[in-house]
Amino acid sequence: MSRSSDIILSVEDLRTYFPVRSKLLRTSRRFVRAVDGVNLSVRRGQTLGLVGESGSGKTTAGRTILGLIKPTTGRVIFDGNDISHLSRRRFQTIRRRMQIIFQDPVSSLNPRMTVGDIVAEPLAVHRIVPRRDRPRRVAKLLEQVGLAEQYANRYPHEFSGGQRQRIGIARALASEPELIIADEPVSALDVSVAAQILNLLKDLQERLGLSYLLIAHNLAVVEHFADQVAVMYLGRIVEQADSDALYARPTHPYTQALLSAVPKPVPGGGGGRIRLAGDPPSPIDPPTGCPFHTRCPLTRQLAEDAPDSDVHRLLSEGRTVSVIRRCAEQIPQLKSVKTDPSHLHACLLRQGE
């Protein structure tokens, strides 16, 4: 399929569990299974969109990949090197090549530092340029993100949200990274500003050959920007495909529901929407079997006509609901769709397709 040198980041069965603080005398420990077996890969120079709602674990996955959180098991392979269990010192060299952009323009910049100092920090840590050349390099970085060089003396609170995101991007670019993890980079911004930032990120990708792992919940943004998309639910990837394929032919019921839930900017829309029952379950006690089975419209629909032996009953929102037994008992693995080997999904009911 693709040569291994084409893949800059590869994640294998990544799991990050957080222990829930047990009460004084209780011996059994519960875990928040934030990331529960994730496999993905980012191709060099391309963007992988990681989509999910709150509780899906996408932010935790991003931070685990960056080494900010220690994975419980699994491997993270960056440019052919297994970085999952590197020592602090060895990780330093990797840090330069992987950077992060945050969602909140307010808390992502130190309010007590000038913009120049903020952008120069990676330059100092990695000793990229000698001290006297730093102001010039900072000016160049600011210019690259569309900010005038005079702004280096100002403080973050003097700027708007979009400008602060640009400063954050300049900081990320300072260490000349190859991979940038963008954690909801435009969710907190207005529409027109978001468009500017997205264009900027795309330009930078083209000019500098950057690879992105784009974490977002706005499906329209991801469709526009990403080359491949992976959909997460409760710590697992439920579907992954090239962007066009995912949006044109979603196979997993969750992806279908997600896409249909996005409001379209067409007046009178909202009809024909797939409605998901209830709220996402908590990652502390995930359901057995397929994590989505408690809310899945497909399994409920098929259970209506299925023989009793294949049916399992569960309690949902105060009512008894029937689902296909397999869905409640087996954990689906990612398998490819028949017609397209690069399009993967994890649904037992659609496995043959």
Closer Cβ to other proteins, 196 or 288, answer by number:
196
Closer Cβ to other proteins, 39 or 178, answer by number:
178
Distance CA 294, CA 76 (A): 31
Closer Cβ to other proteins, 39 or 290, answer by number:
290
Contact 27, 226 (CB under 8 A): no
Distance CA 157, CA 164 (A): 9
For 337, the 3-state DSSP assignment is strand
In the bound complex, what is the minimum distance in angstroms from residue 3's beta carbon to other proteins? 26
Sorted by sequence, the CB contacts under 8 Å of residue 309 that are 6+ apart come out as 325
In the bound complex, what is the minimum distance in angstroms from residue 261's beta carbon to other proteins? 4
In the bound complex, what is the minimum distance in angstroms from residue 249's beta carbon to other proteins? 13
Closer Cβ to other proteins, 39 or 166, answer by number:
166
CA 330 from centroid of its chain's CA atoms: 25
Closer Cβ to other proteins, 100 or 237, answer by number:
100
Q: Nearest 5°: phi and psi at 223?
A: -60, -40
Longest dimension (CA), the chain: 77
Angle (CA) 339 343 347, round 5°: 95
Enclosing H/E stretch for 124: helix 115-125
Closer Cβ to other proteins, 3 or 207, answer by number:
207
Q: Nearest 5°: phi and psi at 161?
A: -60, -45
Q: Is residue 141 left, alpha or beta, with left meaning phi > 0 and alpha meaning psi from -120 to 50? A: alpha
In the bound complex, what is the minimum distance in angstroms from residue 326's beta carbon to other proteins? 18
In the bound complex, what is the minimum distance in angstroms from residue 250's beta carbon to other proteins? 11
In the bound complex, what is the minimum distance in angstroms from residue 214's beta carbon to other proteins? 13
